[in-house]
Structure 1
Amino acid sequence: MKKWLAMLAAASCVLSFAVQAADAPAKKAPTAQQQKMTTCNAEAKTKALKGDERKAFMKECLSKKKEAPAAAAGTQQDKMKSCNAEAKTKALKGDERKAFMKGCLAKAA
């Protein structure tokens, strides 16, 4: 009887945690401006810009209109640097990093 009560208590704890996890709100996708900020920050970091030089770069980068996909992609090497810097700022590791890099580099195509 005690074993049944212990198992029942453990099962109810597990179920309550599962219900709470399911009720947690999903993370919102970043807005276009937030994505642009992330990309510009990653590019500035890749170029190792500091101070006024970084401010000027960020101002120009954030004010740019969306370019045509082929022109925006740049070279594959530039895109790889940008994606790597962004993955590093997000502190991604393992499979999460691989998935991010795959998606990031696919945007270049």
Structure 2
Amino acid sequence: MKKLFATLALLGALSISAHADDSCQAQAAAKKLHGAAETSFIKKCSSGSKAKCETDAKAKNLHGAAETSFVTKCMKGA
């Protein structure tokens, strides 16, 4: 059972980063960034969005699957 939860958490983390990359990619395209500037922007954007969502989850005192679900939904909206 613990392996199942660990696997689900890993899959959730991967999907979170994928969603963050999508919206950050769109923002980079709107700013017409290319090359190193684009890469740097996307990296900062993705980590900043995820950090904010994780902080919000902690403020709501969420843990486990509820936290993962909240962060995933939060990242989709970011």
TM over 0.5: no
Structure whose CA Rg is larger: 1
The higher relative CO (CA closer than 8 Å, separation ≥ 6) is in 2
- Greater fraction helix: 2
Class of the TM-score when normalised by the shorter of the 2 chains: 0.3 to 0.5
